[in-house]
Structure 1
């Protein structure tokens, strides 16, 4: 009996004697099934074959990513606050070295996930740090393939965590339940947005983009773009970290991120609306 992990996307399924016949995440139009078919592994099988690289991005913020590449190359973040630490987004690979490092920083008080492509082994992460709560928007409920009592669903546009030290923002768009994390004390109190992959930093760091599917090049529609832009104006931030280090970018906009997001959204709307030139 094992909790099998999809090699292609990195999501973990419930305890079973054999792997699932299908992966809900991969078969969705936003992702894909590998040309060689669905493959499965377990945490036990991959232990020692990978390593998590943990890097301090700025005071109170650490990035965590797995080498060599696993799943879709997800990147997680640990945010430190005076009320505890939160893991933002999640990666599949979890070993004792990673657990010890995070415990050395004070452990975890909570986990929050931007969207289903980052569910990965989130239940194992929660259990490893004392069954800490995992905060997901209610609109992501149908995408949870390994239910657990540690998952807490919330409704609405925003949710304060840690007495306002952090805020979840329901953006929708990429998935109906997509959310971002706002850290007001980040960037020397200028505010940090941890966006998952919506918006995502472009090759030109003066631009971001928004997509229904990044892998399959499916754009978002006008209403969803306007919703994202509106809800991201509920907070003030100067710096943005997205979910990936890909295409030669480091996934960071160090300053004026809010203006760049607004300008990019307007550019996107001009490109997709019928009266654009």
Structure 2
């Protein structure tokens, strides 16, 4: 593997709103970010702006956190202070090698060294275009493939022979069956939006949006008396645009469940550090959340849920 030189991309421009790295150094040639011009994202009130990868490396660092208590196979990686959208990546340690779920803009020598100490990367899998960030550079640094859904290919701003645009089946084994990691295309937020299932953990990014009620603790009341979770509380939302609060249609949500219902899991891990839920009933909570959203959205086909 060729020696990775992060300074080779120091002058590459990075969108300050979404963190996408462009293979461009001349600001006069890059006036706007087409990802942020899409209705699922936004340009901030201050307007479109770009920074450089060198500035990102100077002003931020990547911090590693445990993603779930008692299971060292999942490690969150997040940039501090918050960079662009602020999502995390998750290092998934499988029997067939390490997978990076989602991606960060910041990649530097320290991050590369830390991940190599943990076994390196055999593959990168990205949930949707808002987290494409600098995936081409990450793939080059670890000389590994990066798996993206073919439905979302139009949102890539860089091309690389390491990009693998998988298509067809909604469920794909990552690194072969021995890894036991499955990428599952649910669609919704983007046509190719994916989740990753490994060891009972469902890594959901923004395909399922973890809600405050989902993170809420109703184990006891203020006096310490045990209680049950109130009826009607959702745990997840299903959004076409998260920042602009445009929900998915009932048909789209139902289509997501038609795929997800075939898979079992006991925890979910959202797009941001701390959005982890472990609950043996979490799959039922996903279904309950879908039914709550479609009911209040006025979906006329509520009787369709009776068949699931």
| TM-score for the superposition, normalised by structure 1 | 0.92
In the TM superposition, residue 274 of structure 1 has moved relative to its aligned partner by 4.7
Summarize the Cα distance change of 1:36–1:60 in structure 2 as closer, same or farther, 3 Å threshold.
same
In the TM superposition, residue 266 of structure 1 has moved relative to its aligned partner by 1.1
Question: Quick check: 1:258 aligned with 2:283?
Answer: yes
Tell whether the 8 Å contact from 2:250 to 2:299 is kept in structure 1 after alignment.
no
In the TM superposition, residue 174 of structure 1 has moved relative to its aligned partner by 0.3
Look up the match of 1:222.
250
Look up the match of 1:135.
147
Look up the match of 1:17.
26
Tell whether the 8 Å contact from 2:24 to 2:30 is kept in structure 1 after alignment.
no
Structure exhibiting the larger radius of gyration computed from Cα positions = 2
Tell whether the 8 Å contact from 1:63 to 1:78 is kept in structure 2 after alignment.
yes
In the TM superposition, residue 16 of structure 1 has moved relative to its aligned partner by 4.2
Alpha-carbon deviations, 1:42-97, whole Å to 9, x = none? 22222231111101223211000111111111111000011000000011111111
- C-alpha separation between the residues in 2 aligned to 1:49 and 1:14? 20
Structure 2 counterpart of 1:203, from 194, 204, 212 = 212
- C-alpha separation between the residues in 2 aligned to 1:149 and 1:233? 34
Tell whether the 8 Å contact from 2:123 to 2:175 is kept in structure 1 after alignment.
no
Look up the match of 1:119.
132
Q: Once superposed, what is the RMSD of the aligned Cα atoms?
A: 1.5
Q: Equivalences for 1:55-204 in 2 at 5 Å?
A: 55-57=65-67, 58-130=71-143, 132-155=144-167, 156-164=169-177, 165-183=180-198, 185=199, 191-204=200-213
Look up the match of 1:273.
298
In the TM superposition, residue 3 of structure 1 has moved relative to its aligned partner by 2.5
Alignment length, in residue pairs?
Answer: 265
In the TM superposition, residue 24 of structure 1 has moved relative to its aligned partner by 1.1
Look up the match of 2:64.
54
For structure 1, which runs of at least 5 residues remain unmatched after alignment?
Answer: 186-190
Look up the match of 2:221.
none
For structure 2, which runs of at least 5 residues remain unmatched after alignment?
Answer: 1-8, 215-233, 303-308
In the TM superposition, residue 260 of structure 1 has moved relative to its aligned partner by 0.9
| TM-score for the superposition, normalised by structure 2 | 0.83
Alpha-carbon deviations, 1:13-62, whole Å to 9, x = none? 12443351210110000111121121112222222311111012232110
In the TM superposition, residue 273 of structure 1 has moved relative to its aligned partner by 2.4
- C-alpha separation between the residues in 1 aligned to 2:96 and 2:150? 25
Summarize the Cα distance change of 1:8–1:48 in structure 2 as closer, same or farther, 3 Å threshold.
same
